Homo-oligomer: A and B are copies of this chain.
Amino acid sequence: MGKKKTTKKRSSRRGKNGQDTGAKIKGLADSVVKSASVEREPAVDIPTRALSNVSFNKKTRYIEMGDRFQQRNLFNYGQAKRFMQTMLVASKCKDLIGVDKTASIRQIYYLAKHTIKGTKEKTFDNQDESDPIIEDLEVALNALREELHVFAGSKGALIGEITFIDSGDTIDATKLGSGGYAIPSIVEPSVIQFKKCNAKYVLHVEKDTVWRRFVEDRFWEKHNCILMHGGGQPSRGVRRMLYRLHDELKLPILTLLDNDPWGYYIYSVIKQGSINLAFESSRMAVPDARFIGVSSFDYDRIDLTDDVKIDLDANDIKRAKQILNYPWFAGKKHWEKEIKQMIKNGFKMEVEALCSKELTFVTEHYTPERLKQKKYWLD
């Protein structure tokens, strides 16, 4: 024990991106100094993160931010605190990049919180104040949060036909037993580099319990793929990993989700991005992702019994109708049919319900058949 460092060789996070982001923060700081030196009021332009400044781009096929922004001024009573908070969080991120460390959004809050000298005023009273500042910086600097060296809680795991390097360690994802690789929050190229890939596609499932069914039945081995789950709504780390696997390795992303509004929404976020994080879409959304099931038509197609039915409640129907009106679903006949059929059915179905036919029905029949029957895939 003690302070002797025995750190193994590992790749530095200060890759090209890290340097870029550090330079961007320095640029922000320089502009403030420059304004002050010529006796102009320091200000920062922060693109507006609100529904009113978000739209679906039919060409890129993802949700993106518009070009509206707000100026944040130092000499404005209502903006001064947020201006100073922005500079403070930016300087903490710069420090992190400088020492090649990362911090959680909670750790950022504690790092940046202090009492302003000569007052009783705190720089931040709670994390609800620092989290939006981190997002402000992301949009203002056009840098992913991960590039600012900030992480959040992680979710999800993967296993399958890929070998990659994570922080200098080579990970062969065909040799991870039943547990799998826990997907971290930061999966940027400076941390993770793909090395060898025999997979033909990525199969992304919603829940870890479904993922375990596929892992136990060694689906990834029989079908040459990567199995991934996001523990429900996927985290940024999981979405960014899907994006990179698709973008860099050209792997198709196939999703197998519950037949309910929540499943549709997960698909929508993976494919088109989310409204809240519209500014990240270009680096996270996978417009080519496909939905291979469970479909509202499966009840008849594969002859299920009413043991699989879960009645829709009023909220499900409301959500389904909202999703039907999303501009990226609205124009698509097959999606309209799919969602309307769920409402007509009056019930929803989980992937796990396919067990009611046979424990391994989903891995030995349903999914292999869906992989062949592309006509049933939803775009």
Contacts and interface: CB of A to CB of B under 8 A. Distances in A.
Interface of A: 1-8, 96, 99, 101-104, 106-107, 110-111, 113-115, 122, 151-154, 157, 165-171, 175-186, 191-192, 207-209, 212-213, 216-218, 221-224, 305-308, 350, 352-356, 359-360, 364, 368, 371-372
27 contacts: A1-B222, A1-B368, A2-B368, A3-B364, A6-B222, A7-B218, A8-B221, A99-B359, A103-B213, A103-B359, A104-B209, A104-B352, A107-B209, A107-B352, A107-B355, A107-B359, A110-B356, A111-B356, A114-B356, A115-B307, A152-B209, A153-B208, A165-B177, A166-B179, A178-B186, A178-B191, A179-B184
B371 A1 contact: yes
Contacts of A114: 305, 307, 356
A263 B187 CA distance: 30
Contacts of A213: 103-104, 107
A143 to B, nearest CB: 20
Contact of A307 (B96, B110, B154, B208): B110
Contacts of A371: 1
A221 B2 CA distance: 11
A316 to B, nearest CB: 16
Contacts of A165: 177
A173 to B, nearest CB: 10
A66 to B, nearest CB: 33
A107 B207 CA distance: 12
A374 to B, nearest CB: 13
Given A171-B179, A178-B186, A180-B184, 5 more contacts: A101-B217, A101-B359, A153-B209, A157-B182, A166-B176
Contact of A180 (B103, B151, B153, B182): B182
Given A101-B360, A106-B350, A307 B181 contact: no
Given A176-B171, A180-B182, A364-B3, A111 B208 contact: no
Contacts of A170: 175
Contacts of A355: 103, 107, 110-111
